[in-house]
Amino acid sequence: MNKKYTYVNGHSKATEQAHELVFNCYRDSRYFLDPVACEQFLEVVQEYRKEHRFFLWAYAIMQNHVHLLVSFKRANTDVVQIDIGIKGMVSERYSAYLLENDKDRYESFEVTEWGFTTFRLWQPGGSVERNISGARSILRSIKSIEANPVRKGYVEEAHDYQWCSAWARENKKGLIPDLYKTPVHIPDQKRTGFRGSANKSEHYSRFGRPR
């Protein structure tokens, strides 16, 4: 599997692979400390999920960036347009909310570029994209994304962090990720960092191809 990270630059098209996307906040700012921003981001993702018919397999909203793992049902879906659309809609809704409810905070998002003042939530440019194929690789990506809040010390268990797909799956509410099933061998935790069976037998995972 090629683990090289590339930037979405307008030329990549969705395929049968999964796409791991990372949206970065402007200048590494911790904008997602605000629960309203988190809620609006998830609302927009759900709307795009329905409209563009993609599987959402994992997500984690961190303080200064967001991880998504998606797979498109239509092979000709333009990943770039999904990227631009989600970020644009979130920025539009959150700026409108702040303008109405917290003008001081709204002004903290404003930047002046080329003589114009604009609301800036996201780092300019495309999001970071990694293409993933194969059930085992997708499973690893899900676990890695959902482990982000634990690695950062936000919580001790991924399912305790509200802005993560592990929490939604565990509590059966919020933006629940798509579940899928496939026979997958999960390697021993001591060797890979992932929990697995002691005899390395095949494990029937809750994660896998969508039903």
- What is the DSSP code string of 135-173? HHHHHHHHHHHHTHHHHTTS-SSGGG-TTBHHHHHHHT-
Task: Kindly report which listed range (53-62, 78-87, 150-159, 186-195) carries the lowest average pLDDT score.
Answer: 186-195
Give φ, ψ of 4 to 5 degrees.
-65, 130
Residue 18, beta-bridge partner list? 71, 132
pLDDT tens track for 3-49:
443 333 333 444 447 899 999 999 999 999 999 999 999 999 999 99
What's the rounded Cα separation, in Å, for the pair 13 and 63? 29
Average pLDDT, integer, range 81-101: 95
* pLDDT score of 6: 37
pLDDT tens track for 110-140:
999 888 899 999 998 877 888 888 888 889 9
Average pLDDT, the chain: 81
Q: In what order do the strands lie in the sheet with 65-72?
A: 6-7, 128-132, 18-24, 65-72, 54-61
Measure the N-to-C terminal CA separation of the chain; round to a whole number of Å.
24
Residue 175's nearest CA partner among 70, 92, 97, 28 is: 70
